[in-house]
Each structure stands twice: as structure tokens, then as C-alpha cells.
Amino acid sequence: MFSRVCFIVNILVYAYQATTSYEQINAAICLAPVQDGHQFYRIFTSEFTHGNPAHILMNMTTLLAFGVSVEKMYGTAFYAMLNFWLMVLSNGLTLVWSWFMVNIVP
């Protein structure tokens, strides 16, 4: 069930993206305001944005191919928590890497 809800949400967000300007899409994906402006919601909202049709097609194919199976094996609650923590981890590592590249690497 969670996989299918994620699928629908991603498709709806991408449909909205397709009707907006590139600047709005780029602003939604960008994680720099998390560090600079404390806009922590972007850690979560960036997970639902996709760059182009091939990107969403690949992600949704993978979601349906593997997500449904994992959800059936381990349950919806586990799968939802897995998704949440992987989202936090991946964006957290991206933030650490960008901070490192800006502040440490010349």
C-alpha cells in the first residue's frame, strides 16, 4: 500500500513540476537553503522531485519492482520507516558533502 501511495504522490508531483518553470523545480530540489536558511522541510520535499521523464520512469519502475516486494515481505510500517530513514540519510550525506566541498576543499 505504501509503495502505491508513494508512486501516486511522485507522479502527481512530477505532473505539477511539468507545468512549472525550471527555476521553481531547481529551487525545490536545491538543498543549499537547508544549510543557509534552515529550511529543513527540503530534506523531505526534494525526495519527490524528478529532473526529467527518464528519471521518474526509472525511479517508479524500481519502486514498483522492488518496493512492493519489500513491503510485502517486511510490512508497511517497516517499509515506510526504511524509506524515511534512507531519505534522511541520503540527504544528510549530501548536505555533509556539500558543506565539506564548500568549506574544506579549496
Write the burial class of residue 105 (CB in 10 Å: 0-12 exposed, 13-18 middle, 19+ buried).
exposed
Q: The cell 524509506 sits on which residue?
A: 83
The arithmetic mean of pLDDT across residues 7-29, rounded, is: 77
pLDDT number for residue 41: 77
Give CA–CA dist 68/62, Å, rounded: 10
Q: What is the pTM of this model?
A: 0.72
pLDDT number for residue 92: 84
> What are the residue ranges of helices labelled H in the chain?
2-18, 22-29, 32-37, 42-45, 53-62, 68-74, 76-103
pLDDT number for residue 40: 78
Q: What is the pLDDT of residues 54-89, one digit of tens each?
A: 988 998 999 889 999 999 999 999 999 999 999 889
Question: What share of the chain in percent tops pLDDT 70?
Answer: 86
Domain count, the chain: 1
- In 3D, which of 11, 5, 9, 3 has the Cα closest to residue 72? 3
pLDDT number for residue 30: 67
Please give the residue range of the domain that contains residue 26. Answer: 2-103
Average pLDDT taken over every residue of the chain: 83
